[in-house]
Chains A and B, each alone.
Chain A
Amino acid sequence: MIVADLARYLAHTTAARSVSVSELRRLPNGAVQENWLLAARFEGGWLAGDRELVLRTDAATTLGIGLSRAVEFQVLRAVRAAGVAVPEPVLLCEDSGVVGRPFFLMRFVAGEAQGERIVSGELGGDRGTLIARLASELARLHAVRPPLRGLEGLAPPPADPARARIEECTRWLAEDGEPHPVAELGLRWLIRHAPPPAPPALCHGDFRTGNFLADPEGFTALLDWEFAGWGDPDADLGWFCLGSWRFGAYAREAGGIAPRDAFYRAYQAASGRAVDAGRVRWWEVMAALRWLVLALRQRDRCLVGGERSLDLALTGRRPAECEFEILALTEAA
């Protein structure tokens, strides 16, 4: 990334006399997107002063799914307007000439996202308060209903979100080409037990421990909106409870943080919508299948795409977790 080009662009865009960048370093995490901490002094203009920002851009190779940075920026604006605690979006640059790819800037929010440190209690503060806060952020998000001005970049709400997901997973499994018997079992179970469509809401799409920031006192911000879209709100609840996102604290089924019932009760209280445990269970099986096929696609970025990443290579060994979840969740059903 050429810092001088970036500084020139920022000065021009924010009407600053000059911008001096004191720090630009890649932040940890983010296999699909890259996040860079950008510390800079803006002389004049609408961002005048010393600023700590986060520059978010595509990684070298992508999954070929998920939102563009431009649409993710729209989503960030919309959910912030709806009262969801997210980093404030600052500006969007769709010109690949500045840093090599489109990017957006958001204000830096303190906190860390490491799942292990959150489930251990080192980060996130009191467990009951944390799960209630997460449930209320999710309820606020799910109160956003289509259509909404400013979110025209999102695909229209699917008529039947469950069927749409089944079709997507079927296609991805076929594209993979290898035999995945547990995934096939999960797919058949999902087809036979698909719930009727619910009114669509704005969903995060990757709502889980590891995708929000927390400091030792508690939650600070919800991150990683690249898979957001109109869908069934129970999909976010099921994804959050998937075993893969409990970071070893397996018995605390709500994200490794709290018992499942506590999360459901908090969500119900915040949203006014009764949680149907059967529907959420269906979406949890779907979460296991979807994470399985996404892991295969992540793996192919290094096996086929040539990206030399150990993280991506190890993701190729995660489908077995999802297979465990599919078998456990569909037991005697």
Chain B
Amino acid sequence: MRDRPDAEFLLARAREAVARGEGGELVARARAIAERECAAGDAPVERFRQALAERYGEGGIELLLRRLVAEIRSGAADTPGPVQAALRRLLWRMTRQKLAESNPGYLAAADAGRVPRK
């Protein structure tokens, strides 16, 4: 569920940037992502995996995400109704969780600033 690269990779690139004497703001961002993910551990991914497993049966996160993709490709989310609503709830949950770790500033700004569409 989490996007790559993982926290370890980000920290390795951040250390290299520090060694080159560059990247103040980028280094801070990489460290903050890694800290948030380390603090949360695997729990957010596992909770989302369980939500998917309720719909698609047991399996690892990647397998279950592929089942979600397959259902979307089948057109199940194309038309308004309970299936579309259920799928969109899952997608929002995943997206908000990823943003909360990768870019909480974006999530806060977007939640505060969304302009109702005409």
Contacts and interface: CB of A to CB of B under 8 A. Distances in A.
Interface residues of A, number: 41
Say what secondary structure dominates the interface of chain A: helix
Contacts, number: 124
A248 B73 contact: no
A317 B103 contact: yes
Contacts of A327: 88, 91-92, 95
A5 B80 CA distance: 64
B3 interface: yes
Interface residues of B, number: 49
B110 A179 contact: no
B10 A188 contact: no
Contacts of A243: 106, 110
Main secondary structure of the interface of B (DSSP, over half): helix
B9 A313 contact: yes
A180 B107 CA distance: 19
Contact of B113 (A184, A251, A314, A318): A251
Contacts of A313: 5, 9-10, 13, 30
A72 interface: no
B99 A321 contact: yes
A253 B113 CA distance: 9
Contacts of A253: 115
B27 interface: yes
Contact of B68 (A179, A246, A319): A179
Contacts of B23: 310-311
Contacts of B98: 320, 323
Interface of A: 178-182, 184-185, 188, 192, 243, 246, 248-251, 253, 259-260, 277, 281, 299, 302-303, 308-311, 313-314, 316-321, 323-324, 327-328, 331-332
9 contacts: A179-B66, A188-B73, A250-B110, A251-B114, A310-B30, A314-B10, A320-B102, A324-B95, A328-B110
Given A316-B4, A328-B114, 14 more contacts: A180-B69, A181-B68, A182-B95, A184-B72, A188-B75, A192-B78, A281-B117, A310-B30, A314-B10, A317-B10, A321-B106, A323-B95, A324-B96, A324-B110
